[in-house]
């Protein structure tokens, strides 16, 4: 997500009872080198942390310092075996946040499901999950990926 959209998203979320906690950076260690001879290669994305109707929620840091910065590679080709979405996120990225911000049996909601990486991470970590995706082809891809995960994990 572009840092330019954060303020708008925070305003909308506040109207629906969400409490803004912080914004952080996901640094991609192997970004796509698009137009690299014309400008800087974009190697960062922004993430936003909200809680719903309360300022405090689960934070499983186990007494360790957790920075507002995470570094991983982009989605592997293995994760794209059933199809891909241009902005597909790696499962490991979602596993990091889901493990940190929820407990087994909790409900994880992703209103921007995309290809379903968050659903797969939730399944692996024994969380309940609800995902919303407007584009039917990506909703189908997400369902296929989750079903594949259930049969192969």
pLDDT per residue rounded down to tens, the chain (153 residues): 566 788 899 999 999 999 999 999 999 998 887 777 888 888 999 999 998 888 878 999 999 999 999 999 887 767 667 666 677 889 999 999 999 999 999 999 999 999 999 999 999 999 999 999 999 999 999 999 999 999 986
Distance of CA 61 to the CA centre of its chain: 18
CA neighbor of 71 nearest in space, from 45, 39, 49: 45
DSSP-assigned letters across all residues of 127-148: -EEEE--SSHHHHHHHHHHHHH
CATH class of the domain whose range is 75-153: alpha beta
Question: Token pair of 131, please?
Answer: 């995902």
Which residue ranges make up each domain of the chain? 1-73, 75-153
CA neighbor of 130 nearest in space, from 146, 143, 111, 151: 111
Contact 85, 112 (CB under 8 A): no
Where helices occur in the chain by DSSP H, the ranges are: 6-15, 91-101, 117-124, 136-152
Q: What is the pTM of this model?
A: 0.85
């Amino acid at each position: 997500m572009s840092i330019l959209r954060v303020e708008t998203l925070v305003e909308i979320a506040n109207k629906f009872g969400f409490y803004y906690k912080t914004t952080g950076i996901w640094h991609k260690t192997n970004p796509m080198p698009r137009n690299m001879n014309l400008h800087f290669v974009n190697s960062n994305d922004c993430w936003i942390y909200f809680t719903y109707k309360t300022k405090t929620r689960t934070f499983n840091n186990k007494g360790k310092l957790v920075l507002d910065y995470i570094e991983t590679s982009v989605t592997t080709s293995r994760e794209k075996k059933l199809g891909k979405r241009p902005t597909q996120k790696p499962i490991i990225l979602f596993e990091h946040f889901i493990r940190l911000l929820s407990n087994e049996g909790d409900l994880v909601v992703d209103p921007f499901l995309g290809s379903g990486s968050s659903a797969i991470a939730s399944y692996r970590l024994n969380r309940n999950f609800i995902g919303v995706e407007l584009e039917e082809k990506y909703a189908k891809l997400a369902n296929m990926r989750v079903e594949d995960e259930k049969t192969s994990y």
